[in-house]
Structure 1
Amino acid sequence: MAEGSVFKHCACKDNDGRRLGSRCPNLRRRGGAWHPTHGRWAYQLELPKSLDGRRRQMRRYRFDNRDAAAKERDSALNLLALAGDNRDLTIEIGDLLEQVKPADPLPDRNMIARRVKAGIPVTTAVLLGDYLREWLTGRSIAAGTTRSYDGHLRNHLEPHLGHIPLEKLSVGHIKAMFTAITDRNIAIETARDSDDPSVRTSVKGHRTTGPASMHRIRATLRKALNDAIRVHRLIDFNPAAHVELPSGKRPKARVWTTAAVKHWKATGHKPSPVMVWTPEQAGQFLDYAEDHDILLYPLYALMLHRGLRRGEAIGLRDLDVDLELGTAVISQQITTDGYQPITKKVKTEAGDRTIMFDQTTSAITRTHLARRATWQLVNGPTWTRTGLVFVQPDGSPWHPDAVTKRFDKLVKRSGLPPIRLHDLRHCAATFLKASGADLQDIKEMLGHSTITITSDTYTSVIHELETERAKAEAAAALVPRTIRRAS
């Protein structure tokens, strides 16, 4: 391969007004050496012939000194050397150099080397959106995780960042995406509070993206870019790791106090996304459920008393329950991928746990099993044998979504302030803490992986319950006051 040449040129013109360039006689001294001040430095390089056999040259001008011109020439040669004996790749890198505009720097050698190693065309920019799709397709992960990643890509990362070349993605680009998401949240909230019904209707069904979701979106991008660095060798810097976001801590659970219920009835708004009933409200719900949905009442009671997740309660097996000992082993769950039910192990080692039944829950479960035995006798050979504790009258398993929908209907018809089905689990933790249990006890019952999760969600949740009220009264009584007569 030709080494190219370094030379000087200038902007002087001849009598006809044509530039002399490197032909200017003032560029050299009498002895033939380059003039130290006249003209500027440049280099010329023979590029590989094009695919159609066309000869090509690369010329770059306007360098302040010879060393700068020689350095860039050597950089161009190093780029061509990446092709080795691969003729097609040599032509492709030549195409890349031919496309460089006069004022632009040469392509980064490390970036081109990574593309060569990964088998990616060097003349085509790898767009972030294309990379993310390829990355997700190539991962072997749980269906639910895939669906979550896909949502992040489809709803946020691709619309905001998908058009940006992977190697040019910056911290600023990612910050701009989260700013746009925040602006959209404000627009939705503003429209919801509008006095104009048509404006409110325009955002019906539109969801805001909370801080926790933003953290998960960033985590997805960060993981994908880490793989671009460590696995695919496409980039050497992860901008997602340097973006700061507002705290994504879980919202605190709050109790449906008298004041909170009054506010909800007046405005229709819940004080917090995570709400729990008082013990009296929980008792009213169980009474209502026993009268109006005897099929799922035992399952709801178990979730309320012992803090099971929906999937854990639906997936509870006969072989996991020992009513003589009053224990249940929580080892599997029934969740959904889209709408398709999936049976799988609990997610973490901490989630695989043994819980104790209280007498009330044991009695409710015994009654349910006796009723289930009657259903089996009535169905005879058509009974569906699942081995699950909670089934429909024909023996078939409950669909997780059906369990949630029936719960929501019960709550609405009961007239109680609303909570989510998952909030029964929060109720269980709240009542356990109110009874004197510490956070470690609650962590073990709920199957949390760390006590931090338990603390973040349940600290100070029971401020309106009688045990906490008594502590507040006792503390206030320690402060002496002078008795004053009413004026």
Structure 2
Amino acid sequence: MKGTTFKRCSCRDSATGRRVGQSCPQLRRPGGGWSRSHGQWYWQIELPADADGARRPLRHGVYSTQADADTVLDQIRAALAVADPTDAYATVKTGDLIAAAVKAGAPIPTPDEIRRALHLDITPTQLPTMAEYLATWLAGRKNVKQGTLRCYEGHIRMYLGPHLGHLRIDRVRPGHIDAMYDGVGSSSAASGRRAVAPATQRRIHATLRKALNDAVRRHRLIDINPALMVELPQARPPKPTIWTDQRVRTWRDTGKKPSAVMIWTPEQTGKFLDYVASVDDRLYALYHLIVFTGLRRGEACGLHWDDVDLDASSITVRWQIVQIGWETVLDTPKTAESEGSVAIDAETVAAFRAHRARQNRERLAVGSSWVKSWLVFTNLVGGALHPADVTDHFHELAAAAGLPPVRLHDLRHGAATLSLAAGVHMKVISNRLRHSSPHFTAKFYGDVLPELSHAAAEATAAVVPRRTRSTETL
């Protein structure tokens, strides 16, 4: 990487017409030295390899004298001498700065400019460690939902702090981050530690990426975000799987679910609703609503009577009850797309009317102790339901009905498959579920019900005209 200066000319080979460059015999004097009158001066040097490990030979000219070329080469050598050769990030960054200057025709960065770019002009006490920075960053997160803030805090406390907290923020390298994911991604029988799933790793990485993006753009503590250079394993969400008779039998024999996301068939869903109605459960209307509209648990618990129009057969999703730890708060829906009106069918309207009558009886029985929450679904004294209690109660009802297990959130997935079975257009289903796009809906729910695939197969085969069909000979 010391570099050299050399001469070349624009002479061309008489036979081929190509430039001869440095091989021109006129560039050298008889004694071997450079000709004083022929050719022009250049310099060449090899910069440190780039971030991908590729070599970076660099040459530039023309210069009128060798001294001019040597001057620029000396400036490059001085700039390269600033970085610690054992610090891959610093050497790559220095090479980037020099290459960019040469390409733009700008002056070579001075050693002081290189030091400032590498934060070498700052003492260790002036730049925070990752633990210090993440604590300050978390405290400054004002415009985020409490659930998101809790996720940030958990990721920092459990993963980012223990693995990266001791490093000064400008010393964090992609290798450090890779090592963290290698560590949390493997289980340890000795410590009882379970491996962190790829999907969770991606959520942790989103927190780290956001924090370091702010360090680059808002606080200007570092010039580049090392988290952007880390490649994580693919995290494929489990596909919804229907509880067929065979899968139910296997589950009863082994106790294992085929997938994390299981969906009841229309018959199983009907059995559940019939059972809940038969025991006159006070939350029947809540589960009925989720089954047919796909509302999220927090959205159903946060539904207000002001947002219910039974005459128009619609509800408006504007609130949700969010569980943070064990505490709950009333908040706006998950995303902007989650807010909106949802049409309800006549049977759901009837369930709501019956529920309102029951709630009025409960309010009269309690008297002045009734909590004026104005919520559709409440506890026995009018207060908000705890989402975890709603989930626990759902599991008790499903088990009592003799049904295979599904999560309460799986009723939302079931609402999508019921609509597909009814022939509802994917765009309409996407709107009812308040997804960001129909593409997501189609990708997640396509081909869930076996009968839909069978109907599609038969319809496709029927398109082709045949004199005889093999089924006719069976």
Q: Distance in 1 between matches of 2:236 and 2:356?
A: 40
Cα 1:111–1:134 shift into 2, 3 Å = farther
Residues 129-148 of structure 1 aligned to structure 2 (within 5 Å) = 129-140=131-142, 141-148=144-151
Q: Distance in 2 between matches of 1:69 and 1:365?
A: 77
Residues 222-371 of structure 1 aligned to structure 2 (within 5 Å) = 222-292=209-279, 294-371=281-358
Q: Distance in 1 between matches of 2:250 and 2:339?
A: 40
Between the aligned residues of both structures, percent identity stands at 42
Q: Distance in 2 between matches of 1:244 and 1:408?
A: 39
| RMSD (Å) for aligned C-alpha atoms | 3.2
Cα 1:240–1:484 shift into 2, 3 Å = same
The DSSP-based 3-state class of the residue aligned with 2:431 is helix
Q: Distance in 2 between matches of 1:107 and 1:154?
A: 37
Residue of structure 1 equivalent to 2:31: none
Task: Choose which of 434, 438, 442 in structure 2 pairs with 1:447.
Answer: 434
- Asked if the contact 1:115/1:234 (under 8 Å) is kept, the reply is no
**Residue 154 (str. 1) matches residue 157 (str. 2):** yes
TM-score norm. by structure 1 comes to 0.69
Q: Which runs of 4+ in 1 moved over 3 A?
A: 66-76, 105-108, 111-116, 121-126, 473-486
**Residue 469 (str. 1) matches residue 472 (str. 2):** no
Task: Choose which of 179, 182, 195 in structure 2 pairs with 1:176.
Answer: 179
Deviations 1:343-394 (A, max 9, x none): 1222333211111111111111111111111112222222222111111232
Residues 14-33 of structure 1 aligned to structure 2 (within 5 Å) = none
Residue of structure 1 equivalent to 2:115: 109
1:67 shift after superposition: 5.6
1:305 shift after superposition: 0.9
Matched to 2:456, the amino acid is: K
Matched to 2:116, the amino acid is: N
Cα 1:209–1:115 shift into 2, 3 Å = farther
- Asked if the contact 2:79/2:114 (under 8 Å) is kept, the reply is no
Give the total of aligned pairs: 371
The DSSP-based 3-state class of the residue aligned with 1:461 is coil
1:142 shift after superposition: 2.2
Q: Distance in 1 between matches of 2:121 and 2:380?
A: 60
1:163 shift after superposition: 2.6
1:69 shift after superposition: 12
1:414 shift after superposition: 2.6
Cα 1:152–1:74 shift into 2, 3 Å = closer
Q: Distance in 2 between matches of 1:73 and 1:303?
A: 64
Matched to 1:165, the amino acid is: R
Matched to 2:201, the amino acid is: M
Cα 1:74–1:183 shift into 2, 3 Å = closer
Cα 1:372–1:207 shift into 2, 3 Å = farther
- Asked if the contact 1:306/1:355 (under 8 Å) is kept, the reply is yes
1:449 shift after superposition: 2.2
The DSSP-based 3-state class of the residue aligned with 2:337 is coil
1:482 shift after superposition: 6.0
Matched to 2:374, the amino acid is: G
Residue of structure 2 equivalent to 1:31: none
Q: Distance in 2 between matches of 1:447 and 1:356?
A: 12
Residue of structure 2 equivalent to 1:388: 375
Deviations 1:13-35 (A, max 9, x none): xxxxxxxxxxxxxxxxxxxxxxx
Matched to 1:146, the amino acid is: L
The DSSP-based 3-state class of the residue aligned with 1:145 is helix
The DSSP-based 3-state class of the residue aligned with 1:183 is coil
Deviations 1:172-219 (A, max 9, x none): 2222222223322xx6xxx7xxxxxxx9xx95xx76533322221111
Cα 1:455–1:483 shift into 2, 3 Å = closer
**Residue 432 (str. 1) matches residue 438 (str. 2):** no
1:290 shift after superposition: 2.3
1:447 shift after superposition: 1.2
Task: Choose which of 400, 416, 431 in structure 1 pairs with 2:403.
Answer: 416
- Asked if the contact 1:249/1:456 (under 8 Å) is kept, the reply is no
Cα 1:370–1:110 shift into 2, 3 Å = same
Q: Distance in 2 between matches of 1:452 and 1:476?
A: 26
Cα 1:359–1:114 shift into 2, 3 Å = farther
Q: Distance in 1 between matches of 2:315 and 2:336?
A: 16
- Asked if the contact 1:251/1:273 (under 8 Å) is kept, the reply is yes
Residue of structure 2 equivalent to 1:375: 362
